[in-house]
Amino acid sequence: MPTIWVDADATPKPVREVICRAAIRTNTTTCFVANHRVPVTPSPCITALQVEPGFDVADNLIAQRAQPGDLVITQDIPLAAEVLEKQVEAINNRGETYNPQTIRQKLNMRDFMETLRSSGVQSGGPAAFSDKDKQAFANSLDRWLTRSQRAKP
């Protein structure tokens, strides 16, 4: 049975709500992992796991526990790269699917932007989360859920 793993430290509330509704509707085991308390809809198929504070503690737990067939929802590109190597699917909060063909480019761009920021260049940040982003995420999650439901024995 596949599991949805959510890197919940930076997951917007509208995305959490979409995930919870979808998990309950499809009875899909879903685990929100964060280093702080994350409010989620009460359900037997949804858990919120609070890990100790620290750099990449939540990411490391997700990377260790995710299995082929699972889905990881994260904005963290290194975590996405790590789970892709384990044949685990990954999407971000805006519904973009990470894939083995583009993850190296995303890692390089992330490192480049980090270098710019550390040298004092103001690069801004991502655009504000919008209703369009929420819809794109919901569509991407629904596609994964449909595929995983079909794959059930």
DSSP structure string for 22-80: HHHHHT-EEEEEESS-------TTEEEEEPPSSTTHHHHHHHHH--TT-EEE-S-HHHH
Query: How many domains is the chain partitioned into structurally?
Result: 1
Q: How confident is the prediction for the chain on average, in pLDDT?
A: 89
Q: What is the pLDDT of residue 146?
A: 95
Q: What is the pLDDT of residue 112?
A: 62
Q: How confident is the model at residue 119 (pLDDT cuts 50, 70, 90)?
A: confident
Q: Which CATH number does the domain housing residue 96 bear?
A: 3.40.50
Q: What is the pLDDT of residue 120?
A: 73
Mind listing the pLDDT tens digit for each residue in 37-48?
A: 999 999 999 999
Mind listing the pLDDT tens digit for each residue in 59-114?
A: 999 999 999 999 999 999 899 999 999 999 999 999 999 998 787 777 666 666 67
Which residues are registered as beta bridge partners of 90?
Answer: 72, 98
Q: How confident is the model at residue 1 (pLDDT cuts 50, 70, 90)?
A: confident
Say if residues 26 and 149 touch (Cβ distance below 8 Å): yes
Question: Could you tell me the residue range of the domain that residue 79 belongs to?
Answer: 3-150
Q: What is the pLDDT of residue 153?
A: 62
Q: How far apart are CA 44 and CA 42, in angstroms?
A: 7
What are the distances in angstroms from CA 11 to CA 89, 92, 119, 151?
17, 9, 28, 27
